[in-house]
Structure formats: C-alpha cells, structure tokens
A and B are shown apart, each in its own frame.
Chain A
Amino acid sequence: MSEFDDLYREVILDHYKSPRHYGRLERPDGEAEGQNPLCGDELSISVAYAGDTISDIRFEGRGCAISQAATSMLTELVIGRGIAEVAAMSKDELLAEIGIPLTPVRLKCALLGLGVLKVALHRSAGTPLPEEWANLGQDLELR
C-alpha cells in the first residue's frame, strides 16, 4: 500500500465522494454550525431525537476531504445511540474509526464535526460540553 493510499484510504475517499446523511433535517431537534478558520472548513449539523436517542442526523458543509469524510463517518457512528453517550463520546473513538495518523493541523479538520455535534446536543438537550471541547471550541470558533 503506498503512502497515498495509506493516508486517503479508500474508505475516506468513499465517504468524501459519497457522504452519508448529507443535507439538513426539515424538523430538527437540534442544530449547530462551525468552521475551522485555518483552512475554511465549514459544517452544519442537524439532529432529531426519539426519546433519549439520536434518531436521525444530517450534515452539510464544504472543506477538505478529511473534515467532510470524518463527519460522514461520524453520522454513521452516532445514529441510534443515546444523546448523553454521544455527548460524552471521546475524540479517540472517532479517530480510531478514521484510522489514519493525522498531523495536528489535520486533527482539527477531522474533529470539527464531532465538536459541532456536541455543541448541537449541548444547546438542544442540555448535555454538558466537556472540558476537552471547551478549548477546541475556541480554536474552531464554534458558533
């Protein structure tokens, strides 16, 4: 496997070219958007709840392959899971799913979607925004 394939593994390219759950929910229970000013990545995420679980999710955005593919992968990870559980989900779980080593600059791209989702959950369901995201949130200029 060449380094190229190693970095942009087929699965990442696949998610980048055919993003899952792309778009915006018509009647979302929660929404947030965020950007990474370093490279201009932009994302918006809308979620719907069924009781205590995330029943549906959509994302829209533009930016680098890592940010868009990672968010697409994230949507598959969280559908059907508890709101509180996702709000507490570690960065490592998503990074393991992405599965390739990332430099610090690219790490911000990869984690943008998770940060935006946590802000959406925090705003709509009152889940805590954990400490580790507080700093990241500043970096990412989440709004």
Chain B
Amino acid sequence: MGASRVTKTAQGPLTGEGVAATRPTLDAHRQRADFAYLEELVNGKPLAYLDSAASTQKPRQVLDALREFYEHSYANVHRGVYRLAERATEAFEGAREKARAFVNASSTREIVFTRNATEALNLVAYAWGLDNLRPGDLVVVTELEHHSNFVPWQYVAQRQGAGFRYIPIDDSGELQLDALERIASEGRVKVVATNLVSNSLGTINPVEKLGAWAHEQGAIMVVDAAQAAPHRPIDVQALGCDFLALSSHKLCGPSGIGVLWGRQELLEGMAPFNLGGEMIRKVTLERTTWNELPHKFEAGTPAIAEAVGFGAALDYISAVGLEAIERHEHELTAYTLGRLGELPWIETYGPPAERHAGIVSFNVEGVHPHDVAQILDWEGVAVRAGHHCTQPLMARLGVAATTRASFYLYTLPEEIDRLVDGLHKVKQHLG
C-alpha cells in the first residue's frame, strides 16, 4: 500500500544547494482503485461523492485491517493475561502511537481516544471548564464554529457563570482579529476555541496567531481539527495549542473513534470525564484514585477494532502524503471556485482559493439547497445541504442553509464538472 502510489514531481525552482525542490502530488485515479464505493451506481450513473467533509469513504486497506484484526487478534484490551489479549492490546496501543506521530505529540500519554472530535471537545469543556471557569472569566469561540466546539462551551460557560464571546467573521468568512482587543477588555479570557478549518466555508483559520494571543491572556487554546487533520499536516507543537480534537471517520478510518490531544500537564491536572472501569488505579468503598494518562480519560471498553482501523487509515493517508492531499484539494478548490464563479446565478461563500480548504459552500439563486441536493442526487452527485451544524454562521450569512461540496484524495476534476452540469439542470428546472 501507499508509498509506491506517491509520485514526486520536480516542478519547483532550484534551491541554493542546487537541489530541485519537490512538490508532492497524488494521482487520484490511482487512489480510486482502493475505494470500492466507486462501483456503486446511483440512478444508473457513477457516483460522484462530494461529501467527504461529512465523512470520507474507506479504502480496502482499512477494511482489510479491521477484518484481519477481528479474525486473528481480537480480545478485550489491557487486562487479559493470555496471548490473544496481548496481541489486541499491542494493536490498540500501536494505533495510539500512530496517532501520536500523526500530530507530532511528544508522548502517547497525551493521546486520549474518544468517540469522535465532538466527544473530545466535550471532554475539555467539562473536565477542564467545570474546574477552571468562574464568573468574570470569558470563553471565546468563533462565529465559524461547528456546534461541537460551540455548544459545549456555551453550556459550560453558562453553568459556571462565565461570559461567552465570539470572534466575528468578515464578509468572506475570515476571522476579524481586530475584535480581540475589545473581547479582552470585557473579562478574563480563559478559553479560546476555534476550528483550524471551517466545516461550512473551508476557511483556514490563523490558529498560531490565536494561540499566541490566548496564551498572552493566560487562556488555553482549544483546536477542533476535525476538518484539518485529514487534509494537511498537523503538528501540535508548532501550532502552539493546548488541546486538539480530530475524528477518524473523516480521514478514511472507521466511525466511533477520535482523538483528543492535550498537553500532559493540563491533562494531569484535570478531573476525569467518564468514570468506571479502566480509568481507575484503586477503588475502595471509601474512595477511588485515577489511572495514569491517557487511561484516566478512557473509561470502559474502548472502540478496539475501530482504533486499529484508525491506525490503518493514518498509515494510508500518511503514505499518500498529507502535503500531496493538501495540494490536490487546493487545485480542486481553485477549479471549483473558478467554475462556479462563471455562473452569475450561483453565490459562493468563503475566502479566496489560496486561503480556502477543500470545502465549497454555495447557493443557487432562488432555489432551496435541499432541492439542489435532491436534483444533484438524481445526477449521481452526492452533496450536503443544510446548516452544516453551524447555525450562528448561517444567521451571519443571512441564509437558512447552503449546499456544500467537499473533496478528498479520491476526488477528480471531472466530478466537479458533473456538479456544474447538475447545477445547470437545477437552474433550468427550478431557477
């Protein structure tokens, strides 16, 4: 799998050392051979799956890893003394090491397995927020936030009597950082929570800058990387954040497993989130002490095979190359924005292509996004229509919903062409 599929094309200028700079690329046609979903016909037409921001399709390497694990290495993890349990634990903890390397964390103690990014963010909001927020404090999110990094903070801030603020966006969907000064004057900023890439608009947010500002305020920086981790290299140490959440199912892995990365000293200082088996050191009738990191935050039998499948997915996308994926999607995004930009009856949202990840939200003039998506479905083009779990953002844009096309390593420009052809049909019948 993998490495042989990556092609490096020397296109860049010669460097001072006389070595050709390489720009990693990927061949989506070759990647597609790994994805059985492409054999599906919708309405007699090949499926153009343009909803990878909701969840990605799975390559056979991940499906094979799941089957292989269930057939040859499956048992519950951590406490079994028999061989099979050892093998299962080794595979499960091996996936944790892969996740550590993937985000460049300094230790696997900082890698907590959760159900998904949402649960990871709830873990921080509850386990950190309930003990550290009080009246006079401020929690700061963005107007671009997915509900998963918005609602838990709004709720915990209200419970603690802390204030809740948001960083507004400008008309192209980018954060207005000049609002930070005003926000800081309104209270003690204790949490800054943002996504790295907006799931609705594809905006790439300046997390390093926000993190530096958060730390100046004495706040923690919480990053929702659910839409970024599948598509670009992530380095938690370079980002300068304190917590980072991601989901397996958005990067070719199984659903039901995600990761919370947190700085060890912060995780150590936090109370547990879920309580029960596995997360304890010693239980007596009088009191219970907690297990060491990361197990303190992993009560109950985890998603064992899903973790192994997640590890296989990390191997897969790493072999393709995160920089190659990023570049491929950048080209698709620029192409999509260009083609949609030719149609005066389409409004697109979000920043210009150079600061826009592989997610394009748009509306067809006078047509409800659900009708757009329904007609595209008949053309075999799968897109999402709705508020994308970002209702405050929809209110800011002044729309009830948008139609959203999103890309991954298997997406082809021809599929964008089919999207555009389908939109002409929408216009013809409903516009």
Contacts and interface: CB of A to CB of B under 8 A. Distances in A.
Given A40-B401, A106-B370, A7 B378 contact: yes
A52 B93 CA distance: 71
Interface in A31-76: 38-42, 62-66
Contacts, number: 48
B328 interface: no
B257 to A, nearest CB: 27
A13 interface: yes
B125 to A, nearest CB: 23
Interface string A105-119: 110010000000000
Contacts of A66: 370-371
Place the interface of chain B in its size category: 10 to 19
Contacts of A65: 367-368, 371, 430
Nearest to A63: B368
A132 interface: no
Interface string A91-111: 000000000000001100100
Contacts of B386: 38-39
Nearest to A5: B429
Nearest to A2: B378
A39 B369 contact: yes
B387 interface: yes
Contacts of A39: 368-370, 385-386, 400-401
A93 to B, nearest CB: 23
B303 interface: no
Interface residues of A, number: 20
Contacts of B394: 40
Contacts of A62: 400
Contacts of A63: 368, 400
Nearest to B374: A7
B222 to A, nearest CB: 27
A35 to B, nearest CB: 9
A20 to B, nearest CB: 18
B425 interface: yes
Given A40-B401, A64-B370, A65-B368, A8 B387 contact: no
B15 interface: no
B43 interface: yes
Contacts of A7: 374-375, 378
A39 B196 CA distance: 26
Interface string A1-21: 011100110000100100000
B421 to A, nearest CB: 13
Given A39-B401, A64-B368, A3 B385 contact: no
Contact of B429 (A8, A38, A41, A105): A8
26 contacts: A3-B43, A4-B378, A4-B425, A7-B374, A7-B375, A8-B375, A8-B430, A38-B386, A39-B369, A40-B394, A40-B400, A40-B401, A41-B368, A42-B400, A62-B400, A63-B400, A64-B369, A64-B371, A65-B367, A65-B368, A65-B371, A66-B370, A105-B370, A106-B370, A106-B374, A109-B370
